[in-house]
Amino acid sequence: METFRFKAANETGAVETGTLSARSKSDAYDQLRARKLRPIAIEAGATAAAGKSAAAAAGGASGEGDGPVKSLPNAQLLLFTEELSELLDSGLQLEPALRIIENRGEKSALKSVGAYLRQQVRDGVSFSNALRGCGKCFSELFCSMVAAGEAAGALPKILRRQAEYFAIMADLRRRVAGALIYPSIVFSAGIALLIIFMTFLLPQLTQLLKRTDQQLPLVTRMLIGTSEFFAGYWWAVLLGIGLAIAAFTWWRRTPDGRMTWDRVSLQIPLLGKILRGRFYAEFSQTLSTLVANGVTLLNGLTLLERATPNLHLKKILVRLSERVGEGGALSSSLRASNFFPPELIDMITVGEQTGNLAGALERSAKRYDREFNTVIAQVTNLIQPLTIMVVAVFVGLVAYSMITGILTSVSGLRGGRPGATQSAPR
């Protein structure tokens, strides 16, 4: 018998450490699973190889593992999730499904990721921890959702849900990119026209207008002042923009800054509506899946809290879990949070009264999915005319100020010529 040091997560997600005696590392994994613990790291003795393996497993649990590749493109992440969910839906176990992905014909990063994950699963590491060991290939949200699927015994359904989400986001990026092509051309042409005006035409026009000694209109004087400022201090403008972006990025990475931004972003017009709608749909669908597969409501809320990257939403879910843990109903806890919409609360109230909470949450998820897709369609349809309108306003303002200045100067010159309206003497 050998002595093994282990690190494992229990049913509530808390991490436990200790030692056990086993004939082999595989036997140690079996003992931990029999105790309803999910192994994170197991170290046999103090050998370097075992220490390296434990460090790798622990890195996987914390999301700091190096992994086989640095990252996965969005298209390959979608392909991996779709293919794995289909293989699991067809009845395959996780390890054979990963072997199929590993043995793909074409050369891609998915082969390396599949091989790494299959080896980790064979060593007894949970799939969610193995995903965390892939470095930056999979987000914390994705890994936490997979952990929720493992806890509920609904991994294929969770993966299918994630694949649908990735597909929606990919379609959104394509639609936004397509909607921006024509406005980008118009915007670039407008910027080029403004640069020509400011750099070549306006300085010459300024010299001409100054010779007339006429009081120019306010809008023309403002345009001339702006042109002179940018001509003399363009470097300061670029430096200021760069410093502002750097300061905002640094502030957003601080705990207080991230909490503030996560809260404010939910209140930004249009963007906040999209973020809240996506959260309501994910909240309803994930909690429905967990409850329907036997996970208690409190554990489901805890898993949701870990799967939410937004710190403000995470704080709301923590308070929600506390109220439910104290014996409160989900509907009353949602109402007390002052964040969830009344329609969702009413639907959950009906589900609690009829004893079909999972079904009520599923219907709510479909409703918010439809609303989310409608808002996305509205946003993409607004991008093109809004961009053209902004360019038209700027170009029109410049043209108006220049023409007004010219007309004012010409009128002053005509009015200042002696005898311009008198006839010649006989």
State the CATH architecture for 74-165: Up-down Bundle (1.20)
Domain 174-411 CATH superfamily: Type II secretion system (T2SS), domain F (1.20.81.30)
Q: pLDDT per position in the chain (426 positions), as tens?
A: 678 777 776 766 566 788 888 776 666 777 777 787 766 667 765 433 433 443 344 344 444 445 666 777 888 888 888 888 888 888 888 888 888 888 876 677 888 888 888 888 888 888 888 888 887 788 776 787 788 778 777 788 888 877 877 887 777 677 767 767 777 787 788 778 777 777 777 777 777 776 766 677 787 788 778 777 877 787 888 899 999 999 999 999 998 999 999 999 988 887 888 888 888 888 888 888 778 766 778 878 887 887 788 889 989 998 998 888 888 888 899 998 889 999 999 999 999 888 888 889 888 888 888 888 788 778 777 877 887 888 788 878 878 877 887 777 777 656 555 444 444 444
Non-local CB neighbours of 398 within 8 Å, separated by 6+ positions = 194, 197, 223
Q: What is the C-alpha separation between 405 and 242, in angstroms, rounded?
A: 34
Measured CA to CA, the distance from residue 325 to residue 323 in angstroms comes to 5
d(CA 372, CA 256): 29
The CA radius of gyration of the chain, in Å to the nearest whole number, is 31
Residue 184: CB atoms within 10 A of its CB come to 12
CATH 1.20.81.30 in the chain, residues?
A: 74-165, 174-411
